[in-house]
Structure 1
Amino acid sequence: MNRRHFLRTTAAASAALAHTPLPAQTATSYPPIRPITSGPPFHWFGYYDKLQFESTNRYALTNQVDFEGRSPTPTDSIKVGMIDTQTGQWTEFGTSTAWGWQQGCMLQWVPGSDDHIIWNDRENGQYISRILNIKTREQRTLPLAIYSLSPDGKYAVCADFARIDFCRSGYGYSGIDAACKDEKIPAKSGIWRMDLQTGEHEIIFSLADAAAVKHPTIDLSEKWNWFNHLLVAQDSKRVIFLHRWRDEVDIPRDKKTGGFTTRMFTINIDGTEPHVLEPSGVVSHFIWRDPDHLVAWARPEAETEARVILYKDKTREYTKIGVDTIPRDGHMTYVPNTNNEWMLCDTYPDKVTREQTPFLLHIATDKRIDLGKFVLPADYKGEFRCDLHPRCTNDGRKVIIDSPHGGQGRQMWEIDISGIVS
């Protein structure tokens, strides 16, 4: 995509958006928005808890693909690269055959570096990760696919992506059979810690370890267990993750998007001190607020409805956030450089209008500010839907979303929130 084409499509898409009537609020009441990619091909970043920008907040990592509307096959390859948000120039860095629609290939900047990026790939029958110096183009291959990086840039925590795909569609990778697919609570599948310099790795918490933490009413050895959604705390000392299980796995792929139960764990980076932070079975998206606290969409056992819950790690203490302003699940993060006063979140498509809404919440006043309403076409559904997954630039001035509302398939859009949070 050259600069002239980018500027032309940017102007056209922005003009179309500005003249599209939006329910409840006029388009001009929303903060400024512009596309930062155009297509075809299609562009998206994926999950909301990865570093998409380097320290200048100019260069945004992105996945690029030439199809939509179906599950990836083992031979489907995506490109990984970077968009200069000032000029629109696309720079390609590599490819991947280990990816999914919701989280891409875990493409992200290595914390603390403006030179190194990392993403997952498949090589010689294994899921691996690649670290690239984007300036020298020197590349290293690490023996495991990563899920989350420690903020000190030293370690990755890694999941069994073949087992995730075996148990739930949309979040693992296709192309390699799960090694322990005949076992419900395998001791050789779980969470690994990997040194980003040497590639040395060890399993720190297995599915057998998780099942050994007794559930009050369920025999977990009779369920199909897996881990999903790993995230390291800001001080690089604790890891949060979801422990999930279901009754059957021999079911159609489109039935694997739901029908499971979840509890939320935290452990030390070496796997010690496991703590079931939310045992209720109803818990979804989460984010660390600080090394001792995190928020999650959950329904604690004492509550009748799920809400955004602020937990204190290693305790049973919690408080509710946005009881009236966030009535449904979304992807929440804290806006950087706001002293945790502002939360960024989104909605799933409205059942009638198909609108998805990114929004800010001023926590102290419970004031919600919608950032726009973006229609998700009906054919974006199930495993290959396009969630907004809003994420901030590192300075907390801009929000980036993935959305197909502009008529060019899934693309990335930038929303200027500087006038709200400053």
Structure 2
Amino acid sequence: MKRRDFLTAGAGIVLAGLAGQPLRAAEAPRFSMFPEYRDHDPMVPVYVLPGNRALHRFFDTSPISPSGRYVALFRMPYEDHSPQPGDAGDVILVDLESGELRTIGRSRGWEVQVGANVQWGPTDEQLYFNDVDPATWQAFAVKMDPTTGARQRLDGTVFMVSPDGTQAVSHNLVKSKRAQVGYGAVVPDHLATRNVGPVADDGVFVTDTDTGRSRMLVSLKTIYEQAEPSLRISDPENYEYYCFQAKWNPQGSRILTTVQWSPLSGGERRRAVITMNADGSQIRTAVTPEQWAGGGHHINWCPDGVRLSMNLNTDDDRELELVTFRFDGADLRKVFEPGSGHPSFHPGGRYMVTDAYPGEQVAFGNGLVPIRLINTEKATCQDIIRINVSPVRGEFRVDAHPAWDRSGRYVTFNGWINDTRKVLVADLSRLVG
């Protein structure tokens, strides 16, 4: 059987319970069937989804399915030590009509921050996540139809699926830990070889989700040589280079990634935000290493697909501002200060939601952080929810990663409740209209 063909049930992913059940789009998600979160008097209704050791992927995709019927999450097998090669977690599905939680898959292709990168395509019949074949230690993505149980092994991995579901884009998830631990797929360490210089065999990859075929869209070498403004330095052979994260804009016309390089002898890394057309052309440096050196994190596309948002220190005051800028770095604008956490725009473009790290100035101490709703037109901010993410830092930290759903009504986020990871959903309809 070819890889692009649907896998059989014996391929290492266990399906439970959805096959044969017809899909009916829910009129409205029934989150009220779940326990309500009332700690610290939230300004909006907040519900705790079932499942311990659970997390939703990231702040740029919602785990709520396109119809609103399901929530797709990842359940870690443990929370007290680093993922080991071959250890499997669960892909789980919460049915918002019945309230039932089902395990629909298993994955060895996960790390602590984003799990197995579980995410929806454009319909409820397309769900994607990563896995690793323990016989070959090859990382790959799975395209799954949760309504039938059918699934397809893709040649490449997925960090984000295009809006139309036809392509998956990814950085090298096996080498991802060389850039930052928590976002890739774990294999034996000797297989995650280091990149010396801006290499020609690593970079940004795209996978055709129909045929399953994967190809390198652009290499690190190409980015290094063609990016404008230039990333060239005098001695690139003395640095390790990696791409880290890869994201489609909402229109599927452009991709962003970051490039990171660190001295082989040890020392501080340098970073830049890179954008390109969907075909890999027009490579632009949207944030230069000089701009990023003052501090910054968490880039995302704005709804128009032309601008990006980010936390960035623009005035050397040691505090971050929320800013936006064009894909080529032009027209940088300060949106709100202070910045924090993982900011993203409401689909309508007026509001932003973000969280905070426990050590940022807007946090409340001892692991308690806000979910912040920012009105960019009025330059106002409300701490609408307070959630404990634990005071732990590093690999095992719990990032809230608040993410808008497609309707712009619901925000899903992670928390730490009763000594385990939980996923919560907030209904912001009263505040955002």
TM class, shorter-chain normalised? 0.7 to 0.9
Read off the aligned partner of 2:46 and give its amino acid letter: I
Contact 1:57 1:394 in 2 (8 A): no
Write the deviation string for residues 75-117 of structure 1: whole angstroms up to 9, x where unpaired: 321000211235431122211111011111111111x212111
* In structure 1, distance between residues paired with 2:51 and 2:124: 25
- The 8 Å contact of residues 30 and 372 in structure 1, kept in 2 or not, is answered as yes
Question: Within 1, Cα distance between the matches of 2:319 and 2:332?
Answer: 14
In the comparison of the two structures, how many residue pairs are matched?
A: 388
The structural deviation recorded for 1:393 is 2.4
Give the Å deviation of 1:376: 2.9
**Which residue, out of 84, 101, 117, partners 1:106?**
117
- Distance in 2, matches of 1:410 and 1:128, equals 26
Residue deviations 1:185-206, cap 9 Å, x none? Answer: 2210111121111122221211
Cα distance, 1:353 vs. partner? 3.3
Displacement of 1:371: 1.9
2:156 to 132, 139, 144: 144
Say whether residues 1:395 and 2:370 are aligned partners.
no
**How do residues 174-185 of structure 1 correspond to structure 2 at under 5 angstroms?**
174-176=186-188, 177-178=190-191, 180-181=193-194, 183-185=196-198
Aligned to 1:267: 276
Amino acid corresponding to residue 91 of structure 2 in structure 1 = V
Name the Cα RMSD after superposition. Answer: 2.5
CA distance in 1, matches of 2:311, 2:234: 22
Q: CA shift at 1:315, angstroms?
A: 4.7
- In 1, the alpha carbon distance for the partners of 2:315 and 2:425 equals 39
Cα displacement (A) at 1:373: 1.4
How many angstroms does 1:305 deviate by?
Answer: 5.1
CA deviations over 1:280-308 (Å, ceiling 9, x no partner): 23442122111211111223589975321
2:209 aligned to which of 196, 204, 211: 196
* Corresponding residue number in structure 2 for 1:156: 168
2:254 counterpart (218, 238, 247): 238
Q: 2:331 aligns with which of 309, 313, 317?
A: 317
1:58, distance to aligned residue in structure 2 (A): 3.0
Distance (whole Å) between structure 2 residues aligned to residue 200 and residue 136 of structure 1: 23
Does residue 33 of the first structure (1) align with residue 46 of the second (2)?
Answer: yes
CA contact (8 A) 1:99 1:120 kept: yes
Matches within 5 A, 1:67-106: 67-106=78-117
> Kindly tell me: are residues 182 and 217 of structure 1, through their superposed partners in 2, closer, same or farther at Cα, counting changes over 3 Å?
closer
Deviation at 1:68, TM superposition (A): 0.4
Gaps of 5+ in 1: 1-6, 251-257
Task: Provide the C-alpha distance between the structure 2 equivalents of 1:383 and 1:180, rounded to a whole number of angstroms.
Answer: 21
8 Å contact 1:57–1:395 — kept in the other structure?
A: no
Read off the aligned partner of 2:336 and give its amino acid letter. Answer: G
Query: Closer, same or farther in 2 for the Cα pair 1:249/1:118, shift >3 Å?
Result: farther
Paired with 1:276 and 1:375, the residues of 2 have a C-alpha distance of 36
One-letter amino acid of the structure 2 residue matched with residue 234 of structure 1: P
> Cα distance 1:8–1:312, how it changes in 2: closer, same or farther (>3 A)?
closer
Q: Indicate conservation of the 8 Å contact 2:66/2:120, yes or no.
A: no
Identify which range, 305-314 or 118-127, moves more after superposition.
305-314
Give the TM-score of the pair, scaled to structure 1: 0.85
SS of match in other structure, 1:348: coil
Q: Deviations over 1:301-326 (max 9, x none)?
A: 89975321111222522111112xxx
Which deviations, in whole Å up to 9, do the C-alpha atoms of 1:23-67 show, x marking residues without a partner? xxxx1x52122211243xx21113111241222323110111231
Aligned residue for 2:126?
116
Looking at structure 2, the residues matched to 48 and 371 of structure 1 have their Cα atoms a distance apart, in angstroms, of 17
Give the TM-score normalised by structure 2. 0.83
Give 1:178 shift. Answer: 4.3
Unaligned runs of 5+ in 2: 1-30
For 2:330 and 2:197, locate their aligned partners in 1 and report how far apart those are by CA, in whole Å.
29
Q: Is the 8 A contact 1:149 1:157 kept in 2?
A: yes
Structure 1: 4+ residue segments shifted above 3 A: 7-11, 176-180, 213-221, 299-306, 350-353
Change (3 A) 1:235 1:167: closer
Q: Do the aligned partners of residues 292 and 211 (structure 1) sit closer, same or farther apart at CA in structure 2, a change above 3 Å counting?
A: same
> Secondary structure of the equivalent of 1:321?
strand
Supply the distance in 2 between the matched residues of 1:223 and 1:298 (Cα, whole angstroms): 24
**1:271-286 matches, cutoff 5 A:** 271-279=280-288, 280-282=291-293, 283-286=296-299
